Structure 1
Amino acid sequence: MKNSFLLKKHYVNLALIIIVLALVAVVWLKPGQPTAAKIFAALTADQVQNIELQVSNKESVQIKKQNGVWQITAPITIPANRFRIEKILSITQANSEKHYAANDLDLTQFELMPPQARLILNEHVIEFGGIAELGQQRYVKIENEILLITDDYFPLISSGLAGLVDSQAIPETQKLLNIQMPKFTISQTTKGAWAISPANQQHTSDSLQAWITQWQQARAVFAERFVNLDTNNAPIVILHFADKSQLQYHLITSNGETALYRADVGIKYHFSYEIFQSIANEPALPAAVNTATP
């Protein structure tokens, strides 16, 4: 009798263990919930060589990878901001838990007819619709599917041309030879040092190198698209490069602005006050000169 009782108790305990394990499996595996899957099964960022962005009421932008460097090729030719391009391309790794057959739905309900923007990676087209009611997710359409993805990409895409240009005053790929300012010119000598003209003995090669470095590292806070901006006789800066090309900027200081304007492409680069002052004015004299008594 006692053995029978113990056997029943053993079965009860075993049954309880099975129930607990089943509950754990339900919680852990969450059956019935959708599994996140990449929106592109095979496409990777490294495979993309051509990008096109089409945004409502803005210029279409075409970007190509040339010798490993992203270059905007239309509507203007100018280096692209590689950090923002890399962020856009990370959409190739985006996941979606929601998949709907587009043929079964009214696309206008998702703001996909017409789409708010279109991103083309090589031959792959992604159309962007509206925001979902719950959560910061956006509807996108790829081929015949509507998916929900995080809204990390549309703000960059919708920024248009000005939001995609490289913010550096001097392109990374260019070797600078001289900068011609309104009142002076700084050039690299045959020995690699920097010299100022008209000559000023108070400047050293190091102080001039520091000024050149400020130009090479100067990044705009943001850029704007302006075609035929009235420069109001703004002073001109000309940068000459080793490949015999040049860049021409207007120094814009009206209305409290601190900007460089490239009239050839219609882009105005806005800099912080400190950075603009460091590149728009004559290099600072060495500390020993500044502190010397007359």
Structure 2
Amino acid sequence: MKKRWILNLILLAVVAGLVSFLYLRPKQDAVKQAAYEVSSYKLAEFNAIKVEFPAKAAVTFEKVNGFWNLTAPYKTRADQASVQRILAIIAASSSQKIVTDDLQKFGLHQPSIKLTLFRDKNNAEEFLFGTYNPLNDEQYISHRNTVYLISNDYGSAASSQVIEMIDKAPLKPTEKVAGFDFSHLEQWEESRLNLDLVDGQWKVSIDKAKPTQNEMNEWADYSWIHTRAKSVELYTPDRKVTHPSFEVKLADGSKVHFDKIQESPELILARPDEGLMYYFPQDEGFVMLNPPINLPSK
């Protein structure tokens, strides 16, 4: 009798567990479905962006040959990842979807940010950013007379400082490295160091150098193709001052000139043609200007 009683309890617990599982599962599905997409647009649809603020200059971007450029308040290369974070608004989802004309209720009558994404000058999508929800710090936005509540990351991305939206790579994505002329840097001035990539092989102008191709490829890849400065600033060359300099040779036969403004406690390189100055940690900077050509010790 006791064994049958225990068995009944076990069966009852199993049934209760199954009932609970079947009862709770639809609720979980319902929670997952309670997310509204802000839009169904595609990134490739847009080729220009305008970010407007109540009390500072607008920031604009334009896509040229597949890459985003900053067009105002400065004209220069844009950090591609920063622009992608702005565009991510089109993939945002919201737990609330409110169709309303009462924008004032959500701080959208005087938006903190007005983001416009352009397909062309006559075809654009507008997103307004309003107040924050005090319970979860999410932000109200409006798009096509509909209000959504989304993560504040989207507003932060659109309102980043302009200087942080400039590309931190010293070379353009389209500039393919074919060599270096380091002959005007102090440490290489006597040896007149030049490096050239010929038929996939690195050639060094110093006869005693014994470069390893793998080391040279890794150096060029790490220090010049994939490197990023820790910060950038606008640069206006002073024609009265002469700095140590070097040139990066490109596959199309052109060259990019860099001024070495400072080497310690951090490397500062300036690119006069783009009016930009790049800041690198000292250890990374040393490697950039000292390729592994394996000279014999004196």
TM norm structure 1: 0.72
**Residues 34, 203 of structure 1: alpha-carbon distance in 2 compared, 3 angstrom cutoff:** closer
Q: In 2 relative to 1, CA 98–277 (structure 1 residues): closer, same or farther, beyond 3 Å?
A: same
What is the alpha-carbon distance in structure 2 between the residues aligned to residue 233 and residue 57 of structure 1? 36
Q: Aligned partners of 2:117 and 2:157: how far apart in 1?
A: 14
Q: Give the superposition deviation at 1:83.
A: 3.1
| 1:174 matched to 2:175 | yes
Q: Which residue of 1 aligns with 2:266?
A: 257
Work out the CA distance in 2 between the residues paired with 1:49 and 1:86.
Answer: 12
Q: Which structure 2 residue ranges, 5 or more long, are not aligned?
A: 1-15
- After TM superposition, the structure 1 stretch with the greater mean CA deviation from structure 2, 149-158 or 218-227, is 218-227
Mark the CA change 1:32 to 1:210 in structure 2 (over 3 Å): closer, same or farther: closer
Alignment deviations for residues 12-37 of structure 1 (CA, whole Å, 9 cap, x no partner): xxxxx9xx88x937981798999321
C-alpha separation between the residues in 1 aligned to 2:228 and 2:101? 45
Residue 138 of structure 1 deviates from its aligned partner by 1.7
Paired residues of 1:63 and 1:80 also in contact (CA < 8 A): no
User: Which digits, 9 at most, give the CA deviation of each residue in 1:217-275, with x for residues without a partner?
Assistant: 34224333425376964322322322344333222327733232223333332222221
- Determine the C-alpha separation between the residues in 2 that align with 1:32 and 1:284: 57
CA distance, structure 1, for counterparts of residue 109 and residue 238 of structure 2: 39
Residue in 1 aligned with 2:224?
216
Distance 1:115 1:284, change over 3 A: same
Shift of 1:74: 1.3
Which residue in 2 is equivalent to 1:204?
Answer: 211
Q: Which secondary structure does the structure 1 equivalent of 2:85 belong to?
A: helix
Does residue 148 (structure 1) correspond to residue 146 (structure 2)? The answer is no
Shift, 1:176, TM fit: 1.6
- In the alignment, the residues of structure 1 paired with residue 141 and residue 92 of structure 2 have an alpha-carbon distance, to the nearest angstrom, of 11
Partner secondary structure for residue 188 of structure 1:
strand
Q: How many residues align?
A: 268
The structure-2 alpha-carbon separation of the partners of 1:59 and 1:89, relative to structure 1 and needing over 3 Å to count, comes to: closer
Paired letter, 1:93 = A
Q: CA RMSD in A?
A: 3.9
Match of residue 128 from structure 1: 129
What's the counterpart of residue 160 of structure 2? 159
| Distance in 1 of aligned mates of 2:221 and 2:281 | 17
Tell me if the contact between 1:51 and 1:120 (Cα under 8 Å) persists in the aligned partners. yes
Partner of residue 38, structure 1: 37
1:98-125 C-alpha deviation (Å, 9 max, x unpaired): 2345532426x62651433524253112
- Indicate yes or no: 2:201 matched with 1:193: yes
1:87 to 68, 85, 88: 85
Q: Is the 8 A contact 1:111 1:130 kept in 2?
A: yes
CA offset at residue 94 of structure 1?
Answer: 0.8
Report SS of the residue matched to 2:153.
coil
